[in-house]
Amino acid sequence: MKEFRILLIDDEPAQIISLKSFLKRRNYTVLTANSGTEGLKFVQEGNIDLVFTDFRMPDMSGLEVVRAVKKINPEIPVVVITAFSQTEDAVKVMKEGAYDYISKPVDLDELELLINKIRERNYLVSENKLLREQLQEKFKFDAIISQSGEMEKVLNTAARVAKSKATVLIRGESGTGKELIAKAIHYASERKDKPLITVNCAALTESLLESELFGHEKGSFTGAVSRRIGRFEQADGGTLFIDEVGDIPLKTQVKLLRVLQFGEFERVGGNETIKTDVRVIAATNRNLEELIARGLFREDLFYRINVVTIHIPPLRERKADIPILIRHFIEKFAQENGKNVTGISKEAQDYLMRYHFPGNVRELENIIERAVVMARDEIITTADLPPGLSTTTERDILDPYNFSDPYPEKVAAFERAMIEKALEVKQGNQTQAAKLLGISERHLRSRMQKLNIVNTKKLLA
């Protein structure tokens, strides 16, 4: 495992000794500095993975340390250690780019949890850099807008599987961006200079789908006035993206399984066996296991396409992505429509943060496009959002007498609503919100992480 180097900046010797001893017992490499100026020298020399800095120091504040570190290397996470009475100051440094803050006296369990989270984030980000670089020419990776840990894991898996020949199954609700991930995998693979061909199984009848996939010979059926080359032949040497694979009829599934197993097929109405070298990426929003149980999907085909599975979580489970997606779509549609719209009001953004988004990213994109077109000012307000967006979906899921949502999801929604309301009442102060809820701050932070709750009050304060 790569050495992990932590820099401690604090003018209190007792604090330095305590934290250094704890971290060294966990095999971290620890460097120490008793002032911000001394600490920045270590940062300039390089090879620092994480910085912990006290907020109040004689020569420079933790806020100044954060700013200076970000100028030297914006990738280095900085965590501010603050006294309880300085919590408001800590929120200010978050706005300047600090990764997080912890209160004195330092809870060592919380400290270790935070470091593990940062290590995982650093690892995912560094691995994803390779994929992002490889996609600069043919497919802009920036098309996948995200900042959540959930999507970082998705992109990390895509990066690792891209160079292989393995068949990939991308699962997720409609509108989550399955095709974007498929494109990312193709253009980061050794097949990037070969075709990427897409076929949507849900949009075609059984007879048309078979012809679409495998082609047909002239006269093989009514209307076949000439030979047609199918998608497998078109994709030879490249990648075939089969969208909505769960909608393929059983008869066609047999032919698809043969191609995946042996790399060969015949056109509809033909006798010639055609060899093909195609990497298949499949996607579905359906429960394939349930379809197998009902006899509608072949189990052997499922195992053939399910070599590597990438699950894209719905937008409601990665709400940290909503603010950055909003900004991206505002910029995109303002430019397309020649509108001078530059942002969104806090009330409108909070409203969207509470919305359930059954249509996922695609729905958010449509909402912002409409809002940009309808906006009368530079800032989108709640009046510019579509009528009926409401919290209807949110109320439905919280209604104990509405059984359309599964029990775990309803319980999670209720807990999420409680925590978000407590944070709102306490203006984003997590310490005070935890007291209001009757739980420890550590437990609150753990539940916020588990439920993907973004403290918008804290971010926007």
Identify the CATH number of the domain in which residue 9 sits: 3.40.50.2300
Q: How far apart are CA 393 and CA 391, in angstroms?
A: 5
Q: How far apart are CA 72 and CA 45, in angstroms?
A: 10
Residue 443 lies in a domain: yes
Count of structural domains within the chain: 3
Q: How far apart are CA 331 and CA 342, in angstroms?
A: 7
Residue 411 pairs with which residues in a beta bridge?
none
DSSP secondary structure, 199-238, as one string: EEGGGS-HHHHHHHHH-B-TTSSTT--S-B--HHHHTTTS
Residue 134 lies in a domain: no
8 Å CB contact between 154 and 312: yes
Residues 150 and 275 in one domain: yes
Residue 319 pLDDT? 86
**Residues 232-255 pLDDT 10s:** 999 999 999 999 999 999 999 999
- 185 exposed, middle or buried (CB, 10 Å; 0-12, 13-18, 19+)? buried
Residue 265 lies in a domain: yes
Residue 192 pLDDT? 87
Residues 26 and 163 in one domain: no
Q: Is the pLDDT of residue 141 over 60?
A: no
Candidates 376, 22, 297; CA nearest to 30 is 22
pLDDT grade for 45, boundaries at 50, 70 and 90:
confident
Sheet containing strand 5-9, strands side by side: 29-33, 5-9, 50-54, 78-82, 100-103
- 3 exposed, middle or buried (CB, 10 Å; 0-12, 13-18, 19+)? exposed
Residues 222 and 170 in one domain: yes
Q: How far apart are CA 431 and CA 293, in angstroms?
A: 49
The SS3 call for residue 167 is coil
User: Residues 116-125: what's their mean pLDDT?
Assistant: 78
Residue 136 pLDDT? 45
**Domain harbouring 162, CATH code:** 3.40.50.300
Q: Is the pLDDT of residue 134 over 70?
A: no
Q: Is the pLDDT of residue 27 over 80?
A: yes
Residue 402 pLDDT? 59
Residues 445 and 377 in one domain: yes
User: Residues 82-105: what's their mean pLDDT?
Assistant: 77
Residues 305 and 329 in one domain: no
- Which are the contacts of 322, defined by CB distance < 8 A and separation ≥ 6? 315, 349, 352, 353, 364, 454
User: Residues 307-314: what's their mean pLDDT?
Assistant: 94
B/e letters for 342-354, b = 16+ CB within 10 Å, e = fewer, are: eebeeebbbbbbb
Q: Which two tokens stand for residue 101?
A: 């803050």
Residues 86 and 205 in one domain: no
**Domain harbouring 334, CATH code:** 1.10.8.60
Residue 330 pLDDT? 95
Residue 132 lies in a domain: no
8 Å CB contact between 197 and 235: yes
- Which are the contacts of 53, defined by CB distance < 8 A and separation ≥ 6? 9, 10, 36, 39, 62, 65, 66, 78, 79, 80, 81
Residue 93 lies in a domain: yes
Residues 210 and 254 in one domain: yes
Residues in the chain: 461
Residues 299 and 327 in one domain: no
Residue 111 lies in a domain: no
Q: How far apart are CA 105 and CA 83, in angstroms?
A: 8
Q: Which of 257, 276, 311 is the last residue of a domain?
A: 311
Residues 83 and 179 in one domain: no
Candidates 289, 285, 286, 201; CA nearest to 243 is 201
Residue 116 lies in a domain: no
**Residues 348-404 pLDDT 10s:** 998 898 888 888 999 999 999 999 999 999 999 999 998 866 544 555 566 665 565
Residues 181 and 86 in one domain: no
Q: Which domain holds residue 85?
A: 5-106
Q: How far apart are CA 370 and CA 339, in angstroms?
A: 12
User: Residues 227-234: what's their mean pLDDT?
Assistant: 88
Residues 158 and 230 in one domain: yes
Which parts of 277-373 are beta strand (E)? 279-284, 308-311, 343-344
Q: Which of 266, 290, 311 is the last residue of a domain?
A: 311
Residues 159 and 280 in one domain: yes
Residue 127 lies in a domain: no
Tell me the CA distances in angstroms from 75 to 72, 126, 133, 167, 279, one per residue in order: 9, 10, 16, 33, 35
